[in-house]
Amino acid sequence: MSGIINSVGARSGIVGSDVYPAGHILKTTFALCSSSPQISSSTYSDVVGCSLAYTMLSSSNTLMILGMGTVNRGSQDGQSGVQITKDGAMIAQVENRDHNDNDRSPIPNVRVVGYSGSATFNLQIRSVSSNNKTTMSIGDGYAIMEIQG
C-alpha cells in the first residue's frame, strides 16, 4: 500500500496523493563520474559529472549523501583527498596521508539537515602532497537520498 488512508478513506499528503511516515525515502538522485579523473593539483578540483543542484521537497526533511566508490593515489608517494561540498563549503572530507601503492580511500558519507530551496553539491579530489596523481573510476560518485522528516 502506498500512503496512509485516513478514517474516511481519503488520501492526503505532501508527495502526490500519498502521506509518508518519518524515515521514508522520498527521492534518490545520483551524481556519477562520467570520466576517469586524474588530478595532480594540491588544490581541490571538481570531478566532471559529480556536481548536482538539488532542491529539497521540504525543509523538515534530511538528506543522506552516500559516497559510492573510492579515490586512489595514482603515483609513487602520492597522498589523496576527497571531499563533498555544499554551495562551495566543505561538508565531508577524507584525506589519506599514508597511501601505499594501490591504496584506496572511500568517498565520504554525510547527513545534511533540511534547508530551503536549492543547493549545489560537488565531489572534489586533490593530491595532498607534491602534486602526485589522484584518480577515481568511471561510475564512482555519490547518491543523495531525501528522507521524510
For residue 102, count CB atoms less than 10 angstroms from its CB and return exposed for 0-12, middle for 13-18, buried for 19 or more.
exposed
Q: What are phi and psi of 15, to 5 degrees?
A: -115, 105
Q: Which own/partner pairs from 10-18 qualify as long-range (CB within 8 Å, at least 24 positions apart)?
A: 14/57, 14/58, 15/57
What's the pLDDT score for residue 41?
A: 86
pTM of the complete model: 0.82
Average pLDDT, the chain: 83
Mean pLDDT of 11-30: 73
